Amino acid sequence: MYFLKELKGQLASKQATIGVIGLGYVGLPLLVAFAEKGFSVIGFDIDQNKIHQIEQGRSYIKHIPGEQLQNKLISATSDMSRLKEPDVIIICVPTPLSIHREPDLSYVTQTAYEIAHYLRMGQLVVLQSTTYPGTTEEVVLPILAGTGLVVGEEFALAYSPEREDPANADYSIFNVPKVIGGVTPTCLDLAQTLYNQIITQTVSVSSTRTAEASKILENIYRSVNIALVNELKILFHKMDIDVWEVIEAAKTKPFGFQAFYPGPGWGGHCIPIDPFYLTWKAREYDLSLRFIELAGEVNTLMPSYVVSRLVSALNNCGKPLKNSEVLILGVAYKKNVDDQRESPALKIIQLLQQQGANVSYHDPYAPTCTNHRHFPEINLQSTALTKENLATFDAVIIATDHDDVDYKLIADYSSLIIDTRNVLATKGLRTANTVSA
């Protein structure tokens, strides 16, 4: 217990060294945040290219300026034997789904074994990767306890879910409340002391399972509501009602309603994945979570709906989809970011290619579209957005509504526009050749 008491003092005085494993869209911002608050930090990743770019002070994530990586408190390595150096180890590795929509915890498990090789007394380990309730104590704890060290006495273990919203100018790591659950009261106290040094508010809960469940609930809430408006979009189109106008009218109610907006599907690492971690876990308790499964079905089918709207619009122009030239505007999963993970644009591209269309894309933040886990056949490079280029396409699908795009150019020089984000109408640019989808 002496070593953990000493660690608490080191955390409070910012004398502790923080290690972050997994330097992606969650880990890299966290690394920068601790360094900005005066902590020495070590980033760990098996991708040597990421390590090299950090060492050069260059960022590979759009919303993280390279200048922030030039902090002398930041170092990075792919040498896992250095895990014995940090006093705190934060796990930010991916938790994807398998092709059968079952949790793939291989990254978490492998990381836990790496930590166990070098775990020493007085270290705090925090899992931040989103996962099903029970992962910290059922998967990570047995691996770390296999070293013979006692949790809560010789090392500490906690769970604190990430709440990243890339490109959100109002909320950052520093001002979004941090939910924390510890395996023991000592573990919770240490984890809360850690995050209190960089975050305005921490929210302690009774267990790691509760903390894990809170993150899943947040994403299920969004998934179900997005599915609701996506389903209503299809119905209202058949009823000749503008779903966007309906939402704008409904949100004037000052209570009891929160606006969610339809789109071409769902994307990002959280919403299309995390809810299914809970549906998988629920089977252990003989329960079928029908709301979650139904929301998944609706959101997963939206790219097909977008393609069907394109087919219908092309038919009205006397053109088949096969051999048509189609430009996808935006392959990132949301506006103003470069993250393509689980982007609905990828499924749209796949469907179009399978039906014989010639597909190109433009995205100011994504110069290449390739090496995607579930779409290995996609290998494209962003094309220039010019009036000459636009004239060569039979249709443009607006899949992502980046701000840094000349929508007037698109409105003026496109033969046919399929707008899945209502961006042209919002900007007063909707034309006779614009189709909502």
Structure tokens at 382: 């962003």
Give the DSSP letter string of 269-324. SSTTTHHHHHHHHHGGGT---HHHHHHHHHHHHHHHHHHHHHHHHHHHTT--STT-
**Residues carrying an active site annotation:** 270
The one-letter amino acid at 206:
S
| Contact (CB, 8 A) for 411 and 431 | yes
Q: Cα dist. 277→79, 206, 426 in Å?
A: 31, 21, 36
* Token pair for 152: 């809560």
State the distance between the two ends of the chain, measured CA to CA, in whole angstroms: 60
If phi > 0 it is left, if psi is from -120 to 50 it is alpha, else beta; for residue 275 that is: alpha
Nearest to 350, CA basis, from 311, 320, 379: 379
Q: How far apart are alpha carbons 418 and 395 in whole angstroms?
A: 7
Q: Provide φ and ψ at 198, rounded to 5°.
A: -125, -15
Angle among Cα 55, 56, 62 to the nearest 5 degrees reads 100
Coil, strand or helix at 17:
strand
